[in-house]
Amino acid sequence: MERADVIMVALEALISTNLYDIHAASKVLKMVLKYNIPEIGKVSEIIEYIYFHTNSITEATAQSTIRRILYLLAQSYTDEVILTLFKIEDESQKGIHRPWEILASFPKGYEVIMEYLLQRLIPFQAKKDQEPSRTSRISPWIATRAIYELLQEPSRRMELHTFFSSLYVRLLFQVSFLVLEESAEMLQDQQLVMECVDPVSSTVEALKTLMYSSGYEELVTYVHTFGGWNLLVDPEKHYDGVTLLARSLVVKDCWHNRPIFSFIISILQDMNCPNHITALVFLTEVTGAAGGWGGAGASKAAIYPWSIHPAARLTSQPPRRIEDLTNNTSLGFLELEDLIPA
């Protein structure tokens, strides 16, 4: 009998009311999954069975076994697990969130899966005409949707802070890419039609959820108060939305100002980055806000990470006015000190 068949039979025993069957099935599954999972068939069937029966399993040993199975499958078959979960949700429309709770319940596993999904977002350091990676079946839109689901788990706030900055910037840059460069073509993509996903709104919702889940509710409210979320998805006013996002970080004295600043500076050192203007608009507002309306709590020391980038230089010079960004064709070098208002 194939290993997948053994797993399916044991799973059926887990929902039994007979404690002997439950403990016997748990022992079988423990032995089957004791070592690294090799090539295994019927992953989709296993995930589907877990999805529809997870809420009916109440016995502690059975619950622990189910969690372990889902965790191990997600580690070895990340694409198939995530795609299967969404396929079931879209077809059944039941919205059972328990599987996502299980995936988020393992700290190390949560970090690994989130990092994997983060790499599936639209690359911010790749040329526009570069062929996308075909090693993964997870598109940027499915990755965004999965990130949104995992971000809703409050138990992982500590782990979330470790990659908040990179995820924040990647989601923002993905919005820019979709709104300003490729939205029309992307929305006609057959894959998007099959996935039933609005890439722009799903990315914005993921960004909001990231901020909420990290304890930055005030930032979301601040941007909303000034209409920033609507501006962000408007091609003609997109940079105004970027400006409000940057301003909120300073005005509300976001703890992640320093790592976000450092991350964007490192991105700007790559001339192949398709998001240079978004990055420069963001930095221009951050530095302007620090010297203008940031208040006593928004000191320059809290914004500029000199200890991390003591001699960093931008590879492209932002013009002195934000409105000149799209008209400047001769960009040179600029010291970081030149960004700081006198």
Domain that holds residue 262: 173-342
- List, for residues 1-46, the tens digit of each pLDDT value: 477 788 888 888 887 778 888 888 888 887 777 765 556 778 888 8
Cα Rg of the chain (Å, integer): 23
Average pLDDT over residues 227-244: 95
**Structure-model confidence comparison of residues 281 and 75, the more confident one:** 281
Domains identified in the chain, total number = 1
Domain membership of residue 27 (yes or no) is no
Token pair, residue 189, equals: 């993509």
| Sign of torsion over alpha carbons 93, 94, 95, 100 | negative
Chain mean pLDDT for the chain = 75
For residues 57-69, average pLDDT: 84
Q: Tell me the torsion sign for CA atoms 328, 168, 197, 42.
A: positive
| In a domain? residue 213 | yes
Residue 335 has pLDDT above 70, yes or no: no
Higher pLDDT, 309 or 255: 255
Residue 126 counted as domain residue? no
Residue 132 in this model has a pLDDT that exceeds 50: no
Q: What is the pLDDT of residues 77-98, one digit of tens each?
A: 889 999 998 888 877 766 566 7
Averaged pLDDT for residues 269-277: 80
Residue that wins the pLDDT comparison between 3 and 292: 3
pLDDT at position 111: 84
> DSSP letters of 85-153?
HHHHHHHH-----HHHHHHHTSHHHHHHHHHHHHHHSPPSSS-TTSPPP-S-S--HHHHHHHHHHHHT-
- The CB density around residue 217, as the number of other CB atoms within 10 Å, is 13
pLDDT of residue 171: 96
* 276 inside domain: yes
pLDDT tens-digit profile of 160-217? Answer: 888 899 999 999 999 999 998 765 455 455 454 445 568 899 999 999 999 998 889 9
Give domain status of residue 113, yes or no. Answer: no
**pLDDT classification of 131: cutoffs 50, 70, 90:** very low
Q: Is residue 275 part of a domain?
A: yes
Confidence at residue 286, expressed as pLDDT on a 0 to 100 scale: 84
**Which pLDDT does position 258 carry in this prediction?**
85
Question: Which candidate, 85, 63, 88, 6, places its Cα nearest to that of 40?
Answer: 6
Please check whether residue 333 lies inside any domain of the structure: yes
Q: Among candidates 108, 201, 113, 206, which has minimal Cα distance to 158?
A: 108
Per-residue confidence (pLDDT) for residue 278, from 0 to 100? 92
Task: Please choose, from the candidates 134, 199, 124, the residue with its C-alpha nearest in 3D space to the C-alpha of residue 168.
Answer: 124
Partners of 334 in the β-ladder: 314
Domain-located, residue 32: no
Task: Tell me which H or E stretch contains 335.
Answer: strand 334-335
Q: Which of 20-24, 100-104, 227-231, 328-332 has the lowest mean pLDDT?
A: 328-332
